Structure 1
Amino acid sequence: MSATEAGHRYREIDVPVAGGMLHAAVWEPSDADADAATALVVHGVTASHLAWPFVVERLPGVRVVAPDLRGRGRSNGIVGPAGMAAHADDLAALLDALGIERTLVVGHSMGAFVSVVLAHRHPERVSRLLLVDGGLPLDVPAGLSTDELVAGILGPTATRLSMRFANAGEYLDFWRRHPAFDGAWTPELERYLAYDLVGDGAGAFRPATSYATTADDTLDMNAGTALPEALAGLQHPARLLTVPRGLQNEPPGLYAPAHLDRLLAAYPRVAHERVDGFNHYTIVMSPAGADVVAAAAREELAAATTPIRP
């Protein structure tokens, strides 16, 4: 079932940002009016807006806006540095272009880090934050080079960025062997993966995300100043969902229990829920995972519209 069949009209837009054009999608409810609730959903480090259709299907009546972050998808022609602040400013420009004053922001993986920084740099644009397996500092050793940091966090996810593929079928076969999607392969996943491919100029295909952009963002997430400053000044209600398995379907996932306990003690404004049964990908890109994320998003949307009593 596509998001359109589930009651949304899908359209794509391009918005001017520093260095080029930001590509984005809008899923508009078929029966929407001017007061329809809105969610801005922000994808992970090597993903695109097509990571979100399962969640969109489960948000009837909600306008969902999803960018291809700069350097990814059809936003991979933007010139200039990336980093959390640049992404956050791009999202503010996207909201401006759509006339959206304030919205729930849902971020997955790196998108959760971007969401936290967006709330800090443009606090009036964000009502609440829903962070999905990301947004709080990762447990990485100090002193690593950029390449070591990328390899340690992303592993084969980063390696594939330098690979070349003869066609979409070969790329899909590469992903079919990925342990994260064992038993979770769907047509929506195939569409998401095929969208990721672009021509390499020599007759083959490569992932749209460049390694250089991924490296810049990974370094900024883990060693930059934007995230710690945003977390230190966090004022918005923030809800974090974590899962027990990581990018390779391995335990303990991005947030080992002891590390997570330290983070939650350091950032008491973040409300945490552990969601068992999923890995870093399937919490968003599977029907069952999307059930969880969409239900949390609906709760956050309801909380955002509930009047505060004196």
Structure 2
Amino acid sequence: MTVAFDEVDGQRIVTFGKGPRKIIAMHGVSAVSMCWATIGRRLPDDWSLIAIDLRGRGQSDSLPGPYGLDRHAEDVLRIADRVGAGPDAVLTGHSMGAYVAVLVAAQREFAKVVLVDGGIPFAPLPKGQDPDTATQALLGPALERLRQTYASPEEYVAFFKAHPAFAGKWTDDVEAYVRYDLTGPEGALRSRAVGEAVLEDGRWLFAERDRIAADLERVSTPMTLLRAPRGLLDQPVGMLPDYLVRPWVDRLPTLHDEVVPDCNHYTILFDERCADIVAERLTS
């Protein structure tokens, strides 16, 4: 597999493969473009996957705010234009990136949209709970990681190896993904993810639930939702349980729901068997 690094208006894109058929891909709220490497390696020769470091993450960490999913959707649409991704292209996103994909697909036609463990509105917040509290509850471990510094790349890798989602599931691609996320001087390394961006985007997912729902209903492109049965911390309930998804499948004839067995919110991208399924759904 060939991997090419480039920039569009100062925003980093990573292209896996050289084929003329294009997939535009977005990562999660505190992730980076290299989360798509395992899937990129499994694409047929006539495909290429263009993964974006979203504003405030990865090599796009110096791009200024404001953040929010509307801003990311603007960036994605601009990049799609610049790389020649027309209506025959595929759009995909993982976790928060799936919600960005919904906003993008509500504005432009694609051949298909593949939502990977995201894109379905969360349940309404309980009375009295504000979006900031919900964001802290959902992203607590990720936010803790952003507040820390690390003496060496090995210490950062060790932090991820201890994460429940990766216990016993470590691969070379996970390690490359983790190392790509590092910046700063030796002895005080940190994640490239900008804390303000992660908080603003996480809050957006709760505060703009109705907007996500409205845009989901506006998407006319066929959509496939690929769900992980286990959660962010490998807990036995996934991020999108049946009770959230089934009403949307019943409401939208364009939405196909599929649970990818034996994976969690992260390994749906990194486990070889799961990545095979995702790659096949993207290109079939």
TM bucket normalised to smaller = over 0.9
The answer to whether structure 1 residue 209 and structure 2 residue 193 are counterparts is: yes
Give 1:281 deviation, angstroms: 0.3
- Greater mean alpha carbon deviation, residues 203-212 or residues 271-280: 203-212
Give 1:202 deviation, angstroms: 9.1
The answer to whether structure 1 residue 277 and structure 2 residue 255 are counterparts is: no
User: Match of 1:53?
Assistant: 37
Secondary structure of 1:283's match? helix
Q: Is the 8 A contact 2:131 2:206 kept in 1?
A: no
Q: What residue identity is the alignment partner of 2:258?
A: E
The answer to whether structure 1 residue 24 and structure 2 residue 13 are counterparts is: yes
Give 1:116 deviation, angstroms: 0.7
Q: Is the 8 A contact 1:244 1:279 kept in 2?
A: yes
The answer to whether structure 1 residue 111 and structure 2 residue 97 are counterparts is: yes
Q: How far apart are the structure 1 equivalents of 2:17 and 2:174?
A: 21
The answer to whether structure 1 residue 12 and structure 2 residue 14 are counterparts is: no
The answer to whether structure 1 residue 179 and structure 2 residue 168 are counterparts is: no
Q: What residue identity is the alignment partner of 2:36?
A: W
Q: How far apart are the structure 1 equivalents of 2:14 and 2:206?
A: 28
Equivalent position to 1:230, from 211, 215, 226: 215
Q: How far apart are the structure 2 equivalents of 1:222 and 1:42?
A: 19
Equivalent position to 2:113, from 122, 129, 135: 129
Q: Is the 8 A contact 2:150 2:187 kept in 1?
A: no
User: Match of 2:49?
Assistant: 64
Distance 1:193 1:202, change over 3 A: closer
Equivalent position to 1:253, from 216, 227, 238: 238
Q: Is the 8 A contact 2:91 2:101 kept in 1?
A: yes
Give deviations 1:121-148, integer Å, cap 9, x for gaps. Answer: 2x14x22100111001123524433442
Q: Is the 8 A contact 1:13 1:25 kept in 2?
A: yes
Distance 1:71 1:265, change over 3 A: same
Equivalent position to 1:286, from 267, 271, 282: 271
Q: What residue identity is the alignment partner of 2:34?
A: L
Give 1:158 deviation, angstroms: 2.2
Unaligned runs of 5+ in 2: none
Equivalent position to 1:192, from 177, 180, 186: 177
Q: Is the 8 A contact 1:59 1:298 kept in 2?
A: yes
Q: What TM-score do the two structures reach when normalised by structure 2?
A: 0.93
Unaligned runs of 5+ in 1: 300-310
Give deviations 1:122-179, integer Å, cap 9, x for gaps. Answer: x14x221001110011235244334422222123122211111111111111111111
Q: What residue identity is the alignment partner of 1:270?
A: L
Q: Which runs of 4+ in 1 moved over 4 A?
A: none
Secondary structure of 1:46's match? coil
Fraction of identical pairs, as percent: 33
Give deviations 1:163-199, integer Å, cap 9, x for gaps. Answer: 1111111111111111111221011111100111111
Distance 1:151 1:266, change over 3 A: farther
Q: What residue identity is the alignment partner of 1:116?
A: V
- Greater mean alpha carbon deviation, residues 71-80 or residues 91-100: 91-100
